């Protein structure tokens, strides 16, 4: 299975502008029910990621005012990207190697195609293992 299999099934790609306030970013994350969002510059190029942990660690824990801070000030800029053709296994390896929970999906043309999370990958693995277990059970009890 490839990354595109996962991202193509989604109807929406989530991103915010660099100038978006942290308060607006937090509301956007809650509204879209996501844990992280890409931050794009004026040309639509991804320049960072803002996650719930960025907001809590860099704003709430520091007692800063989220209405006055742009997302660009707290975003993570160490971007790890994958292409739509990348395998799910490679995504797991990258997340483990870099200690991250989200990967940006960037197409060969440089356009942002979405983000995948560790939760997305775990759902796929759980589904695949369930299918395998069901198949083995059918074989064992003779329901072929």
- pLDDT digit of tens for each residue in the chain (144 aa)? 889 888 887 778 999 999 999 999 999 999 999 999 999 999 889 999 999 999 999 998 888 899 999 999 999 999 999 999 999 999 999 999 999 999 999 999 988 999 999 988 888 888 777 766 777 777 777 765
> Would you kindly state where each structural domain of the chain is located, as residue ranges?
3-117
What are the Cα distances from residue 5, in Å, to 1, 13, 120, 134? 7, 15, 11, 23
CA dihedral 35, 99, 48, 82 (to 10 degrees): -100
Q: What is the chain's alpha carbon radius of gyration, rounded to the nearest angstrom?
A: 18
Q: In what order do the strands lie in the sheet with 112-117?
A: 81-82, 102-106, 112-117
Fold of 3-117: CBS-domain (3.10.580)
């Amino acid at each position: 299975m490839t990354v595109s299999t996962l991202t193509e099934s989604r109807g929406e790609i989530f991103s915010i502008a660099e100038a978006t306030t942290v308060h607006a970013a937090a509301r956007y994350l809650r509204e879209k029910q996501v844990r992280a969002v890409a931050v794009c510059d004026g040309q639509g190029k991804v320049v960072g990621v803002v996650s719930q942990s960025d907001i809590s660690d860099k704003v709430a824990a520091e007692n800063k005012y989220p209405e006055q801070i742009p997302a660009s000030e707290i975003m993570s800029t160490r971007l790890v990207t994958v292409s739509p053709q990348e395998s799910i296994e490679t995504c797991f390896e990258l997340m483990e190697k870099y200690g991250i929970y989200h990967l940006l999906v960037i197409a060969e043309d440089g356009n942002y195609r979405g983000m995948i999370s560790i939760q997305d990958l775990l759902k796929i693995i759980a589904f695949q293992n369930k299918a395998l277990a069901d198949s083995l059970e059918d074989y064992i009890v003779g329901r072929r």
